Each structure stands twice: as structure tokens, then as C-alpha cells.
Amino acid sequence: MSRRLRKIALAVHLTVSIGWVGAVLAYLGLGVASVNSERESTIRGAWISMELIGWWIIVPLALASLLTGVVMALGTKWGLARYYWVLISFGLTTFATSILLLHMPDVSTMADQARAARGSELQGFGGDLFHAGVGLTILLAVLALNIAKPPGLTRYGWRQQTKAS
């Protein structure tokens, strides 16, 4: 990858990855509002908004982050399987994206139920804090790994480095 293309790819990757963190924070905020509110309109609105943010913002950003992360790994000296931190970051991002895609239909079901629920039926809805909290923790762990870039070659990376020497 040329230097210019690498910089563009990095800018796109950082934008979508940080955007993913921000969108999860917004989702988490709506979940907290749903848990702490007794107003029907707030609970219903929070679940409808969580569904919209999930499908229209979080899912696309997660997929874009995964794709641009692979592009960055394959187009730079880090590689996808040379260093443990890259491999772990890729694994955690893949895991988080997979869980997100499996969980979003449940969010849609809850949003549909919130649309139809009346009165006290909405009080037990909760706010989906567990998934958002664990997801945010994983994303912050990936962020920390990508900033720290701890040393440690994989066996593949060690063989590649030995070949190049």
C-alpha cells in the first residue's frame, strides 16, 4: 500500500472505529434512560431509538471497522497474523461484531413490543445494559491494544521475520 493510501485507510478506520464506540455510548445512554424512567414515552422512545441506532449506525460501523481493520493489517507491516496484538484485536472485533449481529433481532423484538405495550407493561423492559456494557468494554480493550501495540510475534510472524533476515 502506498503511503498516501495507507493514511487514507487509517483515517477511515479510525473514523469508523471511534464512531462505533460513540454509537455504543449513545445506545448505552438510551438504555440507562429506559431503566431509570417511569414515563411510558421515554421507555418506548428509548427502545425504538436503540433499534434504529443499532441497525443504522452501530451495525454498519462495526462491519466497516472490521473490514478497514483487515485492510490496515494486510496493507501495513503489522500483518494480520504476525503480532499477537493484531490477532487478538481482530478476534475481539470479529467476536463483538458477531454478537452484535446475533443480538440485534432481539433488540428489534423488544422495540416492537415497546411500540405495542401500554402503561405498566413498559416498566419491566429494562435497558439492554449488559450487551452494550460488554460491547463497550471489548471495544475499549481493542483500542488499548491498538495504542499500546505490545511486542510479541506469533509463530507465523517469527518465521516471516526470520525469512526476511
Taking CA atoms, 124 is separated from 54, 76, 91, 114, 115, in Å, by 21, 49, 35, 10, 14
Q: How far, in Å, CA of 140 to CA of 134, rounded?
A: 10
Say what the pLDDT of residue 123 is: 83
User: What CA–CA distance (Å, rounded) separates 66 from 132?
Assistant: 18
Per-chain mean pLDDT for the chain: 95
100-157 pLDDT, tens digit per residue, is 999 999 999 999 999 999 888 888 888 999 999 999 999 999 999 999 999 999 999 9
Residue type, 29: G
Residue 118 is predicted with a pLDDT of 87
